[in-house]
């Protein structure tokens, strides 16, 4: 039994109401993003707003706060899980208490409006239209940082919302370390005789029904359990946990380029496995679910890239894929592997490969930091965007639709989110290193009959089962026996692409 302390038990009894409402919100949210009749969007927004307010009142309940104070006085008597409950709950209360109601209302109003404007501005390739809204958001974000408080940099307060305990300095150091090696690798690939701007498989049309069969086949290799999960279709793939035993994923289908559907399916599966493997005793407590944005992304990217794009894994699915997608019979296995691992400069972040992806993030990090430091003005963003894309990836961005207007994040007021994408990817490299130290080389594991299950059990024992028990940096040290380092991912990626592109 993980929760023995009486005060903690009382806290949990109160928290079950909160987590139950959150579970229903997740279900309503899933419905909203999948099959809900279009006209009910406004009504659903109303309902979700009211329920969120209910949750807020329950979190700010005075009795709950008193119990929490009491628990804190007896902190040394608590085990790690009980301490985790105190930490997570205190953090939630703190964030809510620091932001005045009027501020939250204004923030929601401005960002709700901005999202609609952004969508149209993007469609019309018209940054001027979005500009005044983004200016308002940046002003509000600066206020938010002041309300939340920080030691060194206002950006710290915002980053911490997405990745507890991480700072601007941490990310500056991280990005400084990775810039040059990634740029060197990218240049080497571009000069390789195997380099391709386009792959013929990208143009092959496919039938949705056939692709669906391939997705389910690949999910079965990954031990997907339909009793606790399901696969649906959504305009933008996502994963959502309704409870520990109901974690749903979505994918998408296009007329051509089947890789996009398969990699999205595997990516979202990675997110779902994390939630499904949290210790059942943490169910409905503040500790259930994935630890953070970066930890979650480390799981989805581990499965999408390190496993899903690995030639040994691709060999497992090639024969079956040919049965569903007949055009594959015209291609060799080498074509198939290169199709999944093509490296080339892209304008669009979400289309970027494992090597160039991080330059998209570095660019956004530098812009967000510049906006907060007031060294960059909103009206300068499109121009700086173009200059940096040219510098980092040698890409000419000739319209804002494919430049500064491409992501939804800023219109939602989500500033400080982007850096966690890169951190998550580099964490997946750390997990790979630790896993290989204990279980042996991943390629050999993937050849074993139970290899995938062994990998999943390792992830469960080392990462998943703890849920939110430990803060980010502590759990990294616990898993890897060392602090965060970019080296494992850099060596993984160099190794992989040296082989694929036959680099010197």
State both tokens at 127.
């940054």
Q: Quote the least distance from Cβ 239 to Mg ion, whole Å.
A: 7
Residue of 300, 310, 428, 472 interacting with Mg ion (CB under 5 A)? 300
- Range in contact with Mg ion (rule: CB under 5 A) among 133-141, 150-158, 294-302, 432-440: 294-302
With H, G, I as helix, E, B as strand and everything else as coil, classify residue 164: coil
Q: Quote the least distance from Cβ 229 to Mg ion, whole Å.
A: 16
Q: Would you say 138 or 264 has its CB closer to Mg ion?
A: 264
Per-position x/- string for 8-47, each x denoting binding to Mg ion as judged by CB under 5 A, each - no binding: ----------------------------------------
Pair 289, 467: CB distance under 8 Å: yes
**CA atoms within 13 Å, Cβ hemisphere of 210:** 16
Does 422 bind Mg ion (CB under 5 A)? Our answer is: no
Which residue's CB comes closest to Mg ion? 300
87-to-198, 471, 493 alpha-carbon distances in Å: 49, 9, 36
Q: Please report how the helices 168-190 and 418-439 are oriented relative to each other, as an axis angle in degrees rounded to 10.
A: 70
Pair 137, 114: CB distance under 8 Å: yes
- Range in contact with Mg ion (rule: CB under 5 A) among 36-44, 54-62, 296-304, 385-393: 296-304
Compute and round to an integer the Cα radius of gyration of the chain. 23
Pair 282, 88: CB distance under 8 Å: no
What is the 3-class SS of 376-405, one letter each residue? CCHHHHHHHHHHHHHHHHCCCCCCHHHCCC
Question: How many residues form the binding site for Mg ion (CB under 5 A)?
Answer: 1
Q: Quote the least distance from Cβ 21 to Mg ion, whole Å.
A: 25
Distance of alpha carbon 191 from the chain centroid: 31
- Range in contact with Mg ion (rule: CB under 5 A) among 57-65, 117-125, 297-305, 392-400: 297-305
State both tokens at 130.
């979005």
Q: Would you say 266 or 381 has its CB closer to Mg ion?
A: 266
**Active-site residue, selected from the candidate residues 163, 268, 297, 346:** 268
Residue 410 burial class via C-beta count within 10 angstroms: exposed 0-12, middle 13-18, buried 19 and up: buried
Q: Would you say 168 or 300 has its CB closer to Mg ion?
A: 300
Q: Would you say 300 or 341 has its CB closer to Mg ion?
A: 300
Q: Would you say 411 or 428 has its CB closer to Mg ion?
A: 428
Say how far apart CA 16 and CA 6 lie, in whole Å: 15
Per-position x/- string for 376-395, each x denoting binding to Mg ion as judged by CB under 5 A, each - no binding: --------------------
Q: Establish whether 268 is a catalytic residue.
A: yes
What is the 3-class SS of 220-252, one letter each residue? HHCCCCCCCEEEEECCCCCEEEEECCEEEEEEC
Q: Quote the least distance from Cβ 361 to Mg ion, whole Å.
A: 13
Q: Quote the least distance from Cβ 270 to Mg ion, whole Å.
A: 8
- Range in contact with Mg ion (rule: CB under 5 A) among 78-86, 295-303, 404-412, 456-464: 295-303
Q: Quote the least distance from Cβ 424 to Mg ion, whole Å.
A: 8
- Range in contact with Mg ion (rule: CB under 5 A) among 244-252, 253-261, 298-306, 399-407: 298-306
Q: Would you say 5 or 272 has its CB closer to Mg ion?
A: 272
32: number of Cβ within 10 Å: 14
403-to-69, 237, 317, 383, 415 alpha-carbon distances in Å: 48, 22, 36, 10, 17
Pair 416, 292: CB distance under 8 Å: no
Of 43-102, which residues contact Mg ion (CB under 5 A)? none
- Range in contact with Mg ion (rule: CB under 5 A) among 173-181, 292-300, 454-462, 481-489: 292-300
70-to-63, 285, 320, 455 alpha-carbon distances in Å: 11, 18, 59, 41
Per-position x/- string for 252-291, each x denoting binding to Mg ion as judged by CB under 5 A, each - no binding: ----------------------------------------
Q: Quote the least distance from Cβ 267 to Mg ion, whole Å.
A: 6
Say how far apart CA 280 and CA 52 lie, in whole Å: 25
Q: Would you say 424 or 451 has its CB closer to Mg ion?
A: 424
Q: Quote the least distance from Cβ 237 to Mg ion, whole Å.
A: 8
- Give the residue among 399, 400, 261, 417 at the shortest CA–CA distance from 324: 261
Q: Would you say 273 or 395 has its CB closer to Mg ion?
A: 273
Footprint of Mg ion on this chain (CB under 5 A)? 300
> Catalytic positions, please?
268
């Amino acid at each position: 039994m993980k929760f023995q302390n009486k005060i903690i038990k009382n806290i949990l009894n109160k928290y079950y109401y909160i987590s139950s409402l959150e579970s229903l919100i997740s279900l309503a949210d899933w419905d909203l993003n999948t099959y809900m009749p279009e006209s009910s969007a406004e009504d659903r927004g109303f309902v979700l707003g009211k329920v969120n307010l209910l949750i807020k009142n329950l979190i700010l309940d005075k009795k709950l706060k008193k119990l929490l104070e009491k628990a804190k006085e007896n902190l040394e008597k608590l085990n790690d899980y009980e301490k985790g409950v105190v930490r997570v709950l205190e953090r939630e209360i703190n964030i809510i208490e620091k932001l005045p109601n009027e501020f939250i209302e204004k923030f929601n109003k401005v960002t709700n409006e901005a999202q609609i404007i952004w969508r149209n501005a993007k469609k019309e390739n018209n940054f001027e239209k979005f500009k005044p809204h983004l200016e308002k958001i940046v002003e509000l974000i600066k206020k938010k940082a002041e309300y939340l408080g920080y030691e060194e940099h206002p950006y710290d307060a915002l980053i911490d919302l997405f990745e507890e305990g991480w700072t601007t300095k941490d990310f500056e150091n991280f990005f400084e370390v990775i810039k040059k090696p990634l740029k060197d690798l990218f240049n080497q690939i571009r000069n390789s005789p195997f380099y391709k701007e386009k792959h013929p498989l990208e143009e092959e049309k496919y039938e949705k029904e056939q692709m669906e069969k391939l997705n389910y086949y690949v999910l079965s290799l990954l031990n997907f359990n339909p009793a606790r999960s399901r696969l649906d279709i959504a305009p933008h793939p996502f994963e959502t946990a309704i409870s520990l035993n109901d974690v749903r994923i979505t994918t998408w289908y296009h007329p051509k380029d089947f890789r996009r559907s398969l990699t999205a399916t595997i990516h979202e599966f990675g997110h779902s496995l994390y939630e499904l493997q949290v210790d059942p005793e943490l169910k409905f407590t503040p500790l259930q679910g994935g630890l953070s944005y970066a930890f979650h992304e480390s799981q989805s990217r581990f499965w999408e890239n390190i496993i899903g794009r690995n030639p040994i894994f691709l060999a497992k699915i090639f024969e079956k894929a040919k049965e569903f997608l007949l055009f594959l019979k015209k291609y060799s296995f080498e074509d198939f592997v290169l199709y999944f691992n093509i490296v080339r400069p892209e304008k669009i972040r979400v289309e970027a490969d494992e090597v160039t992806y991080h330059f998209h993030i570095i660019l956004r990090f530098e812009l967000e930091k510049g906006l907060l430091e007031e060294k960059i003005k909103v009206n300068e963003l499109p121009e700086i965007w173009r200059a940096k894309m040219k510098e980092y990836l040698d890409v000419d961005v000739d319209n804002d639709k494919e430049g500064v207007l491409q992501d939804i994040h800023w219109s939602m007021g989500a500033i400080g989110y982007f850096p966690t994408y890169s951190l998550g990817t580099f964490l997946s490299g750390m997990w790979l290193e630790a896993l290989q130290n204990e279980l042996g080389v991943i390629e050999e594991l993937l050849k074993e009959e139970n290899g995938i299950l062994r990998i999943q059990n390792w992830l469960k024992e080392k990462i998943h089962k703890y849920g939110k028990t430990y803060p980010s940096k502590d759990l990294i040290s616990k898993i890897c026996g060392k602090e965060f380092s970019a080296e494992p991912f850099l060596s993984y990626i160099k190794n992989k692409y040296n082989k694929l592109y036959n680099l010197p």
